[in-house]
Structure formats: structure tokens, C-alpha cells
Amino acid sequence: MPHVIANAGVIYRFAIPQRIELGASVRHVGDRYHSDANTVKLLAYTTADVHASIDIPKTKLSLRVRNITNERYAAWSDPFYPDQILLGAPRSYELSAVFKF
């Protein structure tokens, strides 16, 4: 279990003819060990995400970029397999549309 886990986010909404929303978030996870024996140390990491959305009549369009710095990090490790780790997700993009009927 890491000693430090911190999350912070900000969202700004403004209305011009259409409502627009911009946001960002940051997550930090400190160093941690994968088992009680403290044989393998997973190093700290920090990731950041950003998003933007716009409301147009009966539709909301959103774009999200996760892990914008493309940080490579160990997200998890199983104590029974100390030589294997699960890497965190690389930079990814999401585009979504919500329609109202």
C-alpha cells in the first residue's frame, strides 16, 4: 500500500451559444511494495488526463485524453509472481457522443 495517493481535478464550464466544458485531472501514487516481504518495489508515478465537451441541441460531444504524458508505470504486481508486473495504460483517446431523444 503506498503511503501517498493524491488526486486533483479542475473543470471550467462556460456558456456561449453552446455550453462548453474543459477539464483536467492529475493522479499521483507513491512508491509501494508488492508484498509484505518488501522484495519488489513499484516506483511512484503521476498521470494526467484532460477533457473537453460541447453541448449542441440534443447532443453532447466529448473528447478525453488519458495519460497525456504517456507515462510508463507499474500499476500492479501479484506477490505470487514477483517477476511480473501489470503496466499502466499508455496514452489513449476517447471520443463520445450522447444523443437526447
pLDDT of residue 63: 98
Distance in angstroms (rounded) separating the CA atoms of residues 13 and 92: 24
The full 3-state SS of 37-72, as one line of letters, equals CCCCEECCEEEEEEEEEEEECCEEEEEEEECCCCCC
Single pTM value for the model: 0.84
What are the mean pLDDT values of the chain's consecutive 10-residue runs (101 residues total)? 94 90 97 84 95 95 97 88 88 97 89
Q: Where are the domains of the chain?
A: 5-99
